[in-house]
Amino acid sequence: MRDPKSFVDSLTERYKFKLKGTGPLEFHLGCDFFRDEDGVLCMSPKKYISRMHDRYVRLFGSKARTNVYSPLEKGDHPELDTSEFLETDDTLKYQSLIGSMQWVILLGRFDIATAVMTLSSYRAVPRIGHLDRAKRIVSYLMRFKDACIRYRTNEPDYTDLPERPSEWDRSIYGDVEELLPHDTPKPLGKTVVLTHYVDANLYHDWITGRSVTGILSLLNQTPIDWYSKKQSTVETATYGSEFVATRICIDRAVDLCTTLRYLGVPLAHRDVVFSDNESVVNSSMRLDAKLHKRHNALSFHRVREAIAAGYIQYFHMPGKTNPADVLSKHWGYSDVWPTLQPFLFWKGETAKTLLTPSSDQHDHT
């Protein structure tokens, strides 16, 4: 609110509510909130990470290392670990670490999401190697505990992106429109733009053959939602896994838009989706594209119908600058740092970073 004090005063003086903690937001559910020297509101689980490390010292009798630069080794495959199974006490310690790290992810540290998602599969019967990996993630968090999400409210500049072809209304989907709820409140305030980065990692799990979907969603220039999860089906080619990932991204985008509409938030006419798989982007955007892999038919049509309805714009961007890579793979520091840094470690304005890819940074159809 522009004048929150007057609202709080009316609650206490007129309606006799007994309130406490009504000053500026500082701490909530394990997350610190503060404003940096530029006045930008920031959220960071730094205090929670420190408390988690204190518990780590009590559990294992030593401090975590601070020379770790990624949650797991690049290309690591915990599913292939053949070390001994943990005893009951160590299994409980492992489960405690995984639970704490899952909460850290909810508080904004999406950079560990893929590693924790992978290790979560072994909570019931973990091995010694899995516990060592969990300890490594704690070491990474301590090494980079100053990471935070900054609430950047400026709209991204997408004026250089092309409009969708008008011929979509003559496609097989007809003059389709987005289905909107009819009982939402009147939107108030400034219009916001939703941006989604999506990626898939084929054959992430060498035991099951499952790929992983990674999605990072932004409200204007602020990360608001992140997703890293194994796909429900085994895809035999990158094309298929990327189409499944894009379909999941579209579904999550619709859910997010619905939530914001019920909160009275005015949304831009279209969400913008970026992917680093040019074949999938072309198959989605070209009206004359044909599907040659029937296994992916439902994902194919789900994505294309959303584009035809006009509430999704879909563009290609180079894989090296796709931030969703952080949520789909076990990565190395040198590979993702240029991509990760603007979201969790940069101060000041980021409008000219990869949040708003310029025309020479992406290809589009």
CATH of the domain at 215: 3.30.420.10
The answer for residues whose C-beta is within 8 angstroms of residue 12's C-beta and 6 or more apart is 18, 19
Residue 251 has pLDDT above 60, yes or no: yes
Which of 60, 69, 54, 56 is closest to 336 using CA atoms?
A: 69
The answer for residues whose C-beta is within 8 angstroms of residue 14's C-beta and 6 or more apart is none
The Cα–Cα gap between 284 and 289 comes to: 7
The Cα–Cα gap between 136 and 133 comes to: 5
The Cα–Cα gap between 340 and 325 comes to: 9
Decide if 359 is inside a domain.
Answer: no
Buried (b) or exposed (e) across 309-340, using 16+ Cβ within 10 A?
bbbbbbbbbeeebbbbbbbbbbbeeeebeebb
Helices (H), the chain: 4-9, 46-60, 88-106, 113-120, 128-143, 238-262, 278-285, 297-309, 333-344
Query: Which has the minimum average pLDDT: 135-149, 160-174, 270-284?
Result: 160-174
The Cα–Cα gap between 36 and 42 comes to: 7
Domain of 119, in residue numbers:
46-143
Claim to verify: residue 138 and residue 186 sit in the same structural domain: no
The number of folded domains in the chain is: 2
- The DSSP H or E segment spanning 41 is strand 41-44
pLDDT in tens, 18-33: 998 888 889 988 899 9
Residue 9 has pLDDT above 70, yes or no: yes
The pLDDT, as a whole number, for residue 165 is 66
Decide if 282 is inside a domain.
Answer: yes
pTM: 0.91
Claim to verify: residue 273 and residue 195 sit in the same structural domain: yes
Half-sphere exposure of residue 21: CA atoms within 13 angstroms, side-chain side: 4
Claim to verify: residue 212 and residue 138 sit in the same structural domain: no
The answer for residues whose C-beta is within 8 angstroms of residue 189's C-beta and 6 or more apart is 264, 265, 266
The pLDDT, as a whole number, for residue 365 is 30
